[in-house]
Amino acid sequence: MPLMSGRAIKTEHPFSPPAAFPDPATCRVKPAGFGDYMDCLSQWGWRCPFSLQFGNGCLCRHPLKNEILARLEVKSDAAV
């Protein structure tokens, strides 16, 4: 954190990812339509060590990608 006048100032930059990244609790994926690949829907997917840039987006290679998808499907079913 930068110091100004002896006081710590918290700065948040719009291009800075969350501190804990990747976070399976906030990750979002959808099936890519081929194989068992998933499209990363995270705003910070391009910074994730598990992402693979593909076309204009990123593919998710997270080891828990199927669990992330299942969690999202359960939430969408509960919302209906």
pLDDT block averages, 10 residues each, the chain of length 80: 49 54 77 87 82 88 87 69
Reported pTM: 0.62
pLDDT of residue 18: 52
DSSP string for 1-46 = --EETTEE-----TTPPPSS-S-TTT--EEE-SSTT-EEE--TTGG
pLDDT of residue 25: 73
Which sequence spans correspond to the domains of the chain? Answer: 26-80
Q: Which two three-digit tokens encode residue 39?
A: 């499209």
Say how far apart CA 38 and CA 30 lie, in whole Å: 5
Compute CA 6 distance to the chain's CA centroid, rounded to the nearest angstrom.
35
Say how far apart CA 23 and CA 10 lie, in whole Å: 22
